[in-house]
């Protein structure tokens, strides 16, 4: 089992993050935990992550990686150590900002006729259903799928969203709230205006 715990610190409301090995200790010998600094410390560009796994798996992965990429740049590793040793105060501040943006985004999306938006309790994405918009015509273009909708939103409102097709079924779209409050309100506002025409 590979478990990606990269959003462990970004949970909201009553949600509690539980590492899988804590929930099911018997899995420890067959579990690979992956994680990194990209989300918790907003260090996406530093390209540092890690893996916690049984020793033989770790050894094989290290051998493999040494031939693929040779190493993670030393300066990135030092920065990651500083982040991990620096405590979680800044992370908690960031989570508060994400929490505020999450509420703004969900509220604004729910104002759009045809969108149904559950409240996310982790990470930094809203994943509303847009099924109510399929079959409509927007600026002369027929919207048959969420991929069509994402294209129209990109070209007409100049806002990038990821259509549900990237993850599975059509009929959904993913919007990130990892951006500033003003930009977020501007972006979702543009989508609101486009879809209310
Ligand atoms: C579930 C998940 N894991 C990992 C990553 C990326 O991690 P990294 O930037 O360290 O490659 C992302 C970022 O989009 C993610 O959503």
35 pairs with which residues across the strands?
50
| Domain shared by 125 and 190, yes or no | yes
Q: Structure pTM? A: 0.90
* pLDDT per position as a tens digit, 81-110: 999 999 999 999 999 999 999 999 999 999
Write down which residue in 85, 107, 131 finishes a domain.
85
Q: Mutation test of ligand 1: which of 33, 34, 36, 40 has the most ligand atoms closer than 8 Å to its C-beta?
A: 36
CATH number at residue 26: 3.40.640.10
- Give the mean pLDDT of the chain: 96
Q: Of all atoms in ligand 1, which is nearest to the CA of residue 48?
A: 10
Structural domain containing residue 6: 2-85
Nearest to 37 by CA among 91, 73, 1: 91
Query: Residue 86 carries which DSSP code?
Result: T
Q: Nearest 5 degrees, angle CA 130-CA 134-CA 135?
A: 165
Task: State whether the beta carbon of 185 lies less than 6 angstroms from ligand 1.
Answer: no
| Domain shared by 137 and 63, yes or no | no
Tens place of pLDDT per residue across the chain (197 aa) = 999 999 999 999 999 999 999 999 999 999 999 999 999 999 999 999 999 999 999 999 999 999 998 889 999 999 999 999 999 999 999 999 999 999 999 999 999 999 999 999 999 999 999 999 999 999 999 999 999 999 999 999 999 999 999 999 999 999 999 999 999 999 999 999 999 99
Task: State whether the beta carbon of 36 lies less than 6 angstroms from ligand 1.
Answer: yes
Write down which residue in 59, 85, 111 finishes a domain.
85
Q: Please tell me the distance between residue 142's alpha carbon and the centre of ligand 1 in angstroms.
A: 33
Entry field: residues in the chain: 197
| Domain shared by 43 and 74, yes or no | yes
Query: Residue 13 carries which DSSP code?
Result: T
Domain count, the chain: 2
Protein residue closest via CA to atom 6 of ligand 1 = 38
Asked if 109 and 189 count as a contact pair (C-beta separation under 8 A), the reply is: no
CATH number at residue 191: 3.90.1150.10
| Domain shared by 58 and 100, yes or no | no
Task: State whether the beta carbon of 38 lies less than 6 angstroms from ligand 1.
Answer: yes
Q: What is the pLDDT of residue 70?
A: 86
């Amino acid at each position: 089992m590979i478990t990606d715990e990269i959003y462990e610190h970004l949970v909201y409301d009553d949600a509690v993050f539980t590492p899988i090995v804590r929930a099911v200790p018997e899995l420890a010998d067959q579990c690979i935990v992956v994680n990194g600094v990209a989300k918790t410390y907003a260090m996406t560009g530093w390209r540092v992550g890690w893996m916690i796994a049984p020793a033989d798996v770790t050894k094989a992965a290290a051998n493999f990686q040494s031939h693929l990429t040779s190493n993670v740049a030393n300066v990135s590793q030092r920065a990651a150590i500083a982040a991990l040793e620096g405590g979680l105060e800044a992370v908690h501040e960031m989570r508060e900002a994400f929490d505020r943006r999450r509420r703004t985004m969900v509220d604004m999306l729910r104002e759009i006729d045809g969108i149904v938006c559950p409240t996310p309790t982790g990470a930094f994405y809203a994943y509303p259903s847009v099924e109510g918009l399929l079959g409509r015509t927007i600026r002369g273009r027929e919207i048959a799928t969420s991929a069509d909708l994402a294209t129209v939103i990109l070209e007409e409102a100049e806002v990038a969203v990821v259509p549900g097709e990237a993850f599975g079924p059509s009929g959904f779209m993913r919007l990130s709230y990892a951006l500033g409050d003003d930009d977020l309100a501007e972006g979702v506002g543009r989508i609101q205006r486009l879809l209310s025409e």
